[in-house]
Chains A and B, each alone.
Chain A
Amino acid sequence: MDATTVMYIVQGLNGLTYGMILFLVSSGLTLIFGMMGILNIAHASFFMVAAYLCFTVLKLTGNFWLALLIAPVITALLGILCERFMLRKIHVYGDMGELLVTIGISLVIMEGVKAVWGTESHYISVPTILNGFIWISDVKYPVYRLFVIGLALFILVLMGLLLYKTRLGMLMRAAVLDADMVDALGVNVPLLFMFVFGFGTWLAGIAGVVIAPILSIFPGMADQVGLDTFVVVVTGGFGSLTGAFIVSLLLGGLNAFGIQFIPKLAGVLMFSFMALVLAFKPMGLFGERE
């Protein structure tokens, strides 16, 4: 294979990795949005908290797998606390209040993280099994990134099973479409909301842990990934998982090849894409309602 083809394959795989991570974060966000009707500005902050928690667990135990297990769960608990004691209280006042509370939460997390872990970047290394490179014919590629793609696919399947094969999943999908109706049918919707919020932050937590070795951990990581996930959720369509998946991969690719070919405008591409979609389809590509 010549160098150009190799470059295309490597960039394609990089795009796939980032796209998968984006999907993990944005699927949680889009579920929360679809169900509760709020855009959780703090979603990416939970993602960042998970990365920092992973750093701490690694420092204490030295076991990456344990960190992958524990950090997202603690993050989810944090998310559930925020939902139970802040968002639920203000739900009656309408969307604006909830949106503003999530802004406040994101500010608090942003500064709280700096207060606890400092402003400098932290680096963590991947476990030895995943360290190193793999040759796919002529292409040399890090094993860890392939692991990330695999893990994301695994969680995608898991999520599919949960949503489409269980009663809980059925209720979740129903609540995304019409929470009032589900409530009227006698389901404990506040509890369901809490579960979905926890589940969404858990997904963001997984993403935060797996991205930590690739991106390093720093206080600005929430902004960087957070904006990308907003773009995904908004262009994919509010509450649409299919949309989130497709746009995540699209953006991953756009990002990877954008950096390769027009590094100056890579950051602009994404937002232009979103503006273009919203100009013609205000509810996003796969969205059914505003």
Chain B
Amino acid sequence: MRNRIIRWTAWALLAAVLIAAPQISGRYYINVLVLTGIFALYAASYNLLLGYTGLLSFGHALFFGGGAYATAIALSHVQNLPLLPAVLIGGLAAIIFALITSPLLARVSGTAFVMLTLAFGQLMYVFCLKFRSITGGEDGIGGFPIPSFNIPKIISIDMSDPLHYYYFAMVIIAASLWILWFFTKTPLGSVMTGIRDNPKRVEYLGFKVAHTKAVVFIISGFFAGIAGALYALLQGLVSTDGVLTIYSSFMPIMMIFIGGLNSFFGAVYGSVIFTILDEVITAYTQHVELIIGIIFIMIVMYTPTGFAGLLAYIRRKLRSRYPFLEFLGKTS
């Protein structure tokens, strides 16, 4: 009981901080915060594949970028498209891409899976570069209208104001993260971890491995697409270099490893740490990837469990020394 109270207090505190943060920080940091949230969702959706199902994909930008492009294209062609459908279109486009690719992807595993996802990601990249009548080629798509959040006759909130967009994006991100978290706790989520640990055994138990993989792929893709749509609305510009390069696919991998592979919130920690690193390093040098690359190598080599592993370690230490700190939660 005490445990639960403390946990809810912690969540309430976090919510309060998130609500208050944009009031204190400047306009620039509001956008940084939204971007962190978007990448947290992107990384968390990816972690469904990597951390839970054990599938390493090099093409998750297909969904993130595909979602961003779908939202941008829909907004620039459909008059008066409302806000929520615009975000949903990003997710739905990602679902369509996942449906197209999953018949091939669900059947293979290991390196073949890695390379196939890489191939699909690159196919998308090349398509978006070449079909400039739809995607604008290298220039990307910009200048599309940002719709307001509208409930007819009740309320209309202008989303081009960063502060309003911050609250809107944070609600969507929090809801999506909660759904993802909930999904990992369902029976299907357990089958997922089963596939990661021993696919043959899962098959013997009567579960369909390929089907499950495809479902996970679609769900993961959907939320990456939502993250992409939010990204498009935040930046007001979608370009191949921004959302579809191989670096966009590597980013969630790095975030997850920095944050911790075997923890749901690892992806969230990772994106926060990644953003802080990015901001700090940018202040000193323009070669951000150089430093991030070195840090990434160090993390993979020396602390394979990432930040979440470090937290668990500290918790364990504290609890064994001061038993009254039991509320810190279980130390799996």
Q: Does A143 contact B (CB under 8 A)?
A: no
Interface residues of B (CB under 8 A from A): 56, 104, 107-112, 114-116, 118-120, 122-123, 126-127, 129-131, 246, 250, 253-254, 257, 287-290, 292-294, 296-297, 300-301, 304
CB < 8 Å: which of B104, B254, B257, B301 contacts A90?
B301
Query: A85's closest neighbor in chain B, by CB?
Result: B301
Instruction: Other than A39-B111, A89-B301, give 13 A-B pairs with Cβ distance below 8 A.
Output: A100-B296, A101-B300, A105-B293, A105-B297, A107-B290, A107-B293, A108-B297, A110-B293, A230-B118, A267-B129, A271-B122, A278-B115, A290-B111
CA distance A181 to B116 in the complex (A): 31
List 13 A-B residue pairs with CB atoms under 8 Å apart, sorted by A's residue number. A100-B300, A104-B296, A107-B290, A114-B287, A115-B287, A115-B290, A234-B115, A264-B130, A271-B120, A274-B119, A275-B119, A275-B123, A282-B107
B320 to chain A, nearest CB (A): 26
Which 6 pairs of residues, A with B, have the shortest CB-CB distance?
A: A107-B293, A111-B290, A104-B297, A108-B293, A267-B126, A111-B289
CA distance A264 to B126 in the complex (A): 9
Residue count of chain A within 8 Å CB distance of chain B: 40
Interface of A: prevailing SS: helix
Q: Does A97 contact B (CB under 8 A)?
A: yes
> Which residues on the B side are within 8 Å of A1 (C-beta)?
none
> Which residues on the B side are within 8 Å of A214 (C-beta)?
none
CB < 8 Å: which of A97, A110, A111, A238 contacts B304?
A97
Are A271 and B287 in contact, CB atoms less than 8 angstroms apart? no
> Which residues on the B side are within 8 Å of A86 (C-beta)?
297, 301
Are B253 and A267 in contact, CB atoms less than 8 angstroms apart? no
CA distance A103 to B289 in the complex (A): 11
Q: Does A182 contact B (CB under 8 A)?
A: no
Interface residues of A (CB under 8 A from B): 39, 86, 89-90, 93, 96-97, 99-101, 103-108, 110-112, 114-115, 223, 227, 230-231, 234, 238, 264-265, 267-268, 271-272, 274-275, 278-279, 282-283, 290
Interface centre among B108, B123, B296, B301 (most CB of A within 10 A): B301
CA distance A100 to B114 in the complex (A): 12
> Which residues on the A side are within 8 Å of B304 (C-beta)?
93, 97
Interface of B: prevailing SS: helix
Query: A264's closest neighbor in chain B, by CB?
Result: B130
Interface centre among A39, A271, A279 (most CB of B within 10 A): A271
Are B114 and A111 in contact, CB atoms less than 8 angstroms apart? no
Are A272 and B123 in contact, CB atoms less than 8 angstroms apart? yes
Are A107 and B122 in contact, CB atoms less than 8 angstroms apart? no
> Which residues on the A side are within 8 Å of B246 (C-beta)?
223
> Which residues on the A side are within 8 Å of B300 (C-beta)?
90, 97, 100-101, 104
Answer whether A268 and B120 are a contact pair too, CB < 8 Å, given A100-B300, A104-B296: no
CB < 8 Å: which of B108, B127, B129, B288 contacts A282?
B108
> Which residues on the B side are within 8 Å of A111 (C-beta)?
287-290, 293
CB < 8 Å: which of B123, B127, B296 contacts A107?
B296
B318 to chain A, nearest CB (A): 27
> Which residues on the A side are within 8 Å of B110 (C-beta)?
290
> Which residues on the A side are within 8 Å of B253 (C-beta)?
100, 103
B293 to chain A, nearest CB (A): 3
Answer whether A234 and B292 are a contact pair too, CB < 8 Å, given A89-B301, A103-B250, A108-B297: no
CB < 8 Å: which of A96, A100, A264, A278 contacts B116?
A278
Answer whether A99 and B56 are a contact pair too, CB < 8 Å, given A267-B130, A282-B108: yes
CB < 8 Å: which of B289, B290, B292, B297 contacts A101?
B297
CB < 8 Å: which of B104, B127, B288, B297 contacts A278?
B104
CA distance A149 to B80 in the complex (A): 59
Are B112 and A234 in contact, CB atoms less than 8 angstroms apart? yes
> Which residues on the A side are within 8 Å of B129 (C-beta)?
267
Are A104 and B294 in contact, CB atoms less than 8 angstroms apart? yes
CA distance A282 to B246 in the complex (A): 22
> Which residues on the B side are within 8 Å of A265 (C-beta)?
130
CB < 8 Å: which of B115, B288, B301 contacts A230?
B115
CA distance A290 to B111 in the complex (A): 8
Answer whether A278 and B108 are a contact pair too, CB < 8 Å, given A86-B301, A110-B289, A111-B290: yes
> Which residues on the B side are within 8 Å of A227 (C-beta)?
118, 122
Interface centre among B104, B111, B114, B301 (most CB of A within 10 A): B111
Interface centre among B110, B115, B131 (most CB of A within 10 A): B115
Interface centre among B288, B294, B300, B304 (most CB of A within 10 A): B300
A92 to chain B, nearest CB (A): 11
CA distance A282 to B300 in the complex (A): 28
CB < 8 Å: which of A101, A114, A272, A278 contacts B112?
A278
